[in-house]
Amino acid sequence: MNIGDKLINFKLQATNGEWYSNFAFADKYALCIIFTCNSCEISKAYWTRIIRLFDHYEEDNMAVVAINSNDADQKSEDSYEEMKKQIARLKHDSFVYLHDANQVVAKQMGATKNPEVFLFNSKRELVYKGVIDDNWENETQVMMAYLEDAIEYCLDGIDIDYPELPAVGCDIIWKK
């Protein structure tokens, strides 16, 4: 996807057993989709930050959801059952973690990394994509919180200074 493109239609199952489509978040002022997984070390380093973003921006009427598109046949850690365990470990039942088992959503959106962010405004136009921040290894040494800045600009209706930055992470594990 390119900046300005509209959100695609999708319907995926979450770890809570419910099915979510892009319309499930229609009442939200903004929507942040983060492609991530259970197996990548970089994704693992970001999980607490993702949950913190969810908690912080929920009151601003913004949705933060995660999608796992990795092929679980190649990485058993990324199976639907393991995704449910991940949410249980995080002790956050209300967080929406979607399973893109057939990888259609990742392909249509052009996701290639775990984690990789796609931020949509109220019109569901892509306004930011890429990296979460500048230091996956040490949260206390983050100098540039790119995603948080983009969210703030998006919620204020302002153009984002850096709307596209290369995602840093593991490659999505595609089906053979």
pLDDT digit string, tens, across residues 106-155? 999 999 999 999 999 999 999 999 999 999 999 999 999 999 999 999 99
Of the candidates 146, 154, 142, 152, the residue with the CA atom closest to the CA atom of residue 130: 146
Q: Domain 48-159 carries which CATH code?
A: 3.40.30.10
Extents of the domains making up the chain: 48-159
pLDDT digit string, tens, across residues 31-83? 999 999 999 999 999 999 999 999 999 899 999 999 999 999 999 999 999 99
pTM assigned to the model: 0.95
- The answer to whether the bond into 115 is cis (omega within 30° of 0) is yes
DSSP code of residue 79: S
